[in-house]
Amino acid sequence: MTEELQKFKLIFLGDQGVGKSSLLNRFSQNKFEPDYQPTIGLDFHSKTETINGASVRLLLYDTAGQEKFKSLIPMYIRDANIILVVYDITIKDSFVHTSHWVNETQELKRDDAIFCLIGNKTDLEEKRTVSTKEAENFANEKDFIFYEVSAKTGDGIFELFNSKIFPKMVEKFHIRGDDDDGDTNNNNEGGNENNIKIENDDTNKKKKKKGCC
């Protein structure tokens, strides 16, 4: 009989167009599609990952950034283990609005929820309007994990999870494998299939068209 995997829920929040869908797809499938239909309501993916010697199932929820869908988000925040707030380093307002997204979660989140502030689109460095220092200071004030990434190139995505998020999960949720050697870095950059099993619900695959990523 197969032992049921421990499950952890990750929810991606942020304004429309900051690249939440692209970031999730880069992490779950190591793919980038330049043309995405904006998420309607919520999209779901899952991924099985080895963390600290234990196989765990990551449940990945991609939320819509449009105002009309915000009423759907609270029901998914309540039991989220990791809350990832994403902004676009080239759009100042998307960073300013991260405070709103964080405030939206405060009364609903788990006491042990891990917060992560992610600055996306570092491939557009020449168009940057949000400095790394400004975002880092905000994250430090809130005691959040902070990282800048590019969903388009993949830069920083796997480092974020392997060196920041997974170790924090081990610390907070006491993840241990049968042969735990204390190493939480799985070196899974690029989606190493020896360690990662990716399972996506085909019914949740988005149609691609010209639009935001």
Percentage of the chain lying above the pLDDT 90 cut: 60
Token pair recorded at residue 39:
């998420």
Q: What pLDDT, on a 0 to 100 scale, did the predictor assign at position 198? A: 34
Weakest mean pLDDT among 2-11, 25-34, 79-88, 198-207: 198-207
Q: For residue 104, what pLDDT is reported?
A: 84
Please give the mean pLDDT across all residues of the chain: 82
Task: Give the pLDDT confidence of 164-197 residue by residue, as tens digits.
Answer: 999 999 999 999 987 655 555 554 555 433 333 3
Count of H-run helices and E-run strands, the chain: 7, 7
> Which residue ranges make up each domain of the chain?
6-204
Q: What is the CATH number of domain 6-204?
A: 3.40.50.300
Q: What is the pLDDT of residues 79-128, one digit of tens each?
A: 999 999 999 999 999 999 999 899 888 888 999 999 999 999 999 999 99
Neighbouring residues of 163: CB distance < 8 A, sequence distance ≥ 6: 185
Judge whether 10 and 82 are in contact, CB under 8 Å: yes
Exposed/middle/buried for residue 136 (C-beta within 10 Å: 0-12, 13-18, 19+)? middle
According to the model, what pLDDT value does residue 177 have? 85
